[in-house]
Amino acid sequence: MTETEKEKAMDVGTDPLVDDYLRRLGSAASALPEHRRDELVSEIREHLQEALRQTPADDQAAVRNALERLGTPEEIAAAAVETEPHDQGDAVFERTNALAVASVVSAVLWLAGIGAVFALVFGYRAHRQIKDSAGAQAGAGLAVAGIVLGWIGVAVLVAGLVLIAVHPNKAH
Amino acid sequence: MSQLRKGALEYCVLALLRDGERYGFELVRALSQPDGLLVSEGTIYPLLSRLRRDELVSTSWQESESGPPRRYYRLTGAGKRALADFGEEWARFRDAVDALMTTPRS
């Protein structure tokens, strides 16, 4: 989030008081993950843009009043840190999706047989669960690996069956 | 007291969205109108993003005739249910507290 993003808003983008306030907010919110911090700062900037929409550019009293109503940057940052699901911006703990692991294990254990089918079923399910978890679950790579191995397994199985059908004698 | 206010505030936001979508600044000004509800306007924004994360509200950007686009908030199905549940709970809670506060002790 940079100043250039809101170039058109002449008052807020260039006002030194606002600038200083947003800078303080950014550093007070340093415990937040970066995208949350950027989002918070741009929301407050948008708020100020609305609040000062009708005010002349040099009306410092109006700017001060709008900033006062907002509260201190530290107050806002503290409220934001408090509402974060993982307190103090701790690294998000991702749990590896169990079905993704099951998918790869099935594929490896019995590549040319029923394991391949399990690998596909588990793999696709895991993939969907991980997607739905919106970042809370890890293992997307594993799920894809399980799916790929599963399809390879199915291909080998089909090739084997075709070979047996074409050369029934050589299969024994 | 601040915990009580904080807890009720999120439902006040949901209540403001009951009749349709509103943008952030509009919500903040509506909440700062009544005396004693809001301490500082800025702390509403972290609350709004939590409501969004909990999927009680959804947001969309819309153009405005006079300035940059605005982020509008609207209730989701889960938001409507949460608001309805709180409405009942709150009425009981308020009556219970009022009764205790106003009954003269003998």
Check: pTM over 0.90? Answer yes or no. Answer: no
A67-118 confidence digits (pLDDT tens):
999 999 999 999 999 888 754 444 455 678 888 888 888 888 875 578 888 8
Strand A95-96, strand A137-138: pairing: parallel
Instruction: State residue A26's pLDDT score.
Output: 95
Cα–Cα nearest to B90, from B25, B20, B4: B4
Write out chain A residues lying below 8 Å of B23, CB-based: 50
Note whether A92 contacts B: Cβ–Cβ < 8 A. no
Q: Do B46 and A82 touch (CB under 8 A)?
A: yes
Alpha carbon distance, N-terminus to C-terminus of chain A? 69
Provide the pLDDT confidence category of residue A5 given band limits of 50, 70 and 90. very low
- Average pLDDT of the segment spanning B59-85: 92
Q: Do A43 and B25 touch (CB under 8 A)?
A: no
Q: Do A49 and B67 touch (CB under 8 A)?
A: yes
Strand partners of residue B71? B61
Interface predicted TM-score (ipTM) of this complex, two decimals? 0.85
Return the residue matching tokens 């505030």.
Answer: B9
A116-126 confidence digits (pLDDT tens):
888 889 999 98
Q: Which of A25, A44, A46, A84 would you mutate first to test chain B, the one with the most B CBs within 10 A?
A: A46
Instruction: State residue A36's pLDDT score.
Output: 93
Write out chain A residues lying below 8 Å of B41, CB-based: 47, 69-71
Average pLDDT along chain A:
82
Q: Do B70 and A50 touch (CB under 8 A)?
A: yes
A139-151 confidence digits (pLDDT tens):
888 889 989 988 8
Give start and end residues of each alpha helix (H) in B1-106.
2-16, 24-32, 44-53, 77-102
Give SS3 for B68: strand
Average pLDDT along chain B:
91
For residue B28, the tally of other CB atoms under 10 A from its CB is 24
Q: Which of A1, A36, A41, A43 would you mutate first to test chain B, the one with the most B CBs within 10 A?
A: A43
Which tops the pLDDT comparison, B35 or B26?
B26
* A49 touches A12 (CB < 8 A): yes
Note whether B71 contacts A: Cβ–Cβ < 8 A. yes
List of residues 6+ apart from A47 with CB closer than 8 A? A70, B24, B25, B28, B41, B42, B45
Cα–Cα nearest to A18, from B71, A55, B33: A55
CA distance B104 to chain A (A): 38
Provide the pLDDT confidence category of residue B9 given band limits of 50, 70 and 90. very high
Instruction: State residue A161's pLDDT score.
Output: 87
